[in-house]
Structure 1
């Protein structure tokens, strides 16, 4: 969820505001871009989708060569860059997206964000799962070749307090269990975290590494990567 250097030339216009089970979520338009705000916290906008695309590309590149039709789970629909990028790649098989905010799903299905994800949502490989990611990982029996997670501003900066459990030993164990052998976990973050890298190793993941996406100011956005051993 990149905190891009947002231009102030245009004042934001609120397109929709909803109260849901996790608090307030707002869709704003600023010039040519959209912004999503949750409980007063800026989550993401459409100004620059490089890191969301890296999340998908890095996961696919990390998979063992020759794996047919790998299944990917995207945690967080957001502004839709990750989904659209995955759907544009014919090598992916099933593309499942977990999103707990019904408002965000509505904004993509016939709302203002449909211009970003309309084609991806029409792709027969795509499935939207309207549920909480943490609960889904804990209870589902489905397995994936890649988990691409982008529901917070990073392991050290969560949108809601209950999301912290995703990055706990139990949460990472759930992630590992949901991966097929040789599968990859990719986690977006607004800043690097050596502590999270160590937590991944402690949870039994291998090939732990971090890829950076440089931004105009401040620390780079990153994608944390780790593999479930075959």
Structure 2
């Protein structure tokens, strides 16, 4: 009986333009799986909170900075940002309609409902790389939590986001002195080099301790003033 009770239960499964996305419940946790790759669950949220806080802490004290979040996920980053009155407008880019639906009227709404009702919040349903290449908007901070890291992407097309050209696009939508924060499941010295080659300064990595294995990290970089 224990094995049956602990088996994951699929709540929704959809085929989108970038492959299959699945929302499932495993015990008390909700999990998002993309193309068979585990992305995230509702177990903690510490990494997502640190991602947002690290970006804010790296800014130069400007008032009401505007935030762009790459990836809605389970909603921890958005919820944490919206809970902080220091942030101004908050835009979340999410390319999977299924994920948006799970937050609007699905099982993940309990995490994000207050944030989505916040007048500062806007959801842009598009690919992040398309957004940074096409938008006329600029932001003070950009938090990326789309893949498991620069070297562990969900789809092959995401590789371009972490290339020099993709990061240059990220820099383009940042205001002078703006901060790029990138979550990763493992440290990547090579990615730090790519950030510098893309023109970012003050590149550094903050570790997030985990129970077992190598720490998660947040890569931080600043667009020159």
Bin the TM-score by the shorter chain: over 0.9
* 1:82 corresponds to 2:77: yes
Question: What is the CA-CA distance between 1:220 and the residue it aligns to?
Answer: 0.5
Matched with 1:152 is 147
Q: Where does 1:54-203 land on structure 2 (aligned, <5 Å)? A: 54-65=50-61, 67-203=62-198
Unaligned runs of 5+ in 1: 1-7
| TM-score of the superposed pair, with normalisation by structure 1 | 0.95
Matched with 1:31 is 27
Work out the CA distance in 2 between the residues paired with 1:32 and 1:89. Answer: 27
Matched with 1:21 is 17
Aligned length: 222
Work out the CA distance in 1 between the residues paired with 2:74 and 2:121. Answer: 16
Question: What is the CA-CA distance between 1:9 and the residue it aligns to?
Answer: 7.4
Question: What is the CA-CA distance between 1:145 and the residue it aligns to?
Answer: 0.1
Residues 82-123 of structure 1: per-residue CA shift (max 9 Å, x gap): 000000000000000000000000000010000000000000
Matched with 1:3 is none
Work out the CA distance in 2 between the residues paired with 1:48 and 1:134. Answer: 28
Matched with 2:205 is 210
Question: What is the CA-CA distance between 1:221 and the residue it aligns to?
Answer: 0.5
Q: After TM superposition, what 4+ stretches of structure 1 lie above 6 angstroms from structure 2?
A: none
What secondary structure, in the 3-state scheme, does the structure 2 residue paired with 1:165 have? helix
Q: 93-102 or 134-143, which moves further after superposition?
A: 134-143
| TM-score of the superposed pair, with normalisation by structure 2 | 0.97
Superposition RMSD on alpha carbons, in Å? 1.0
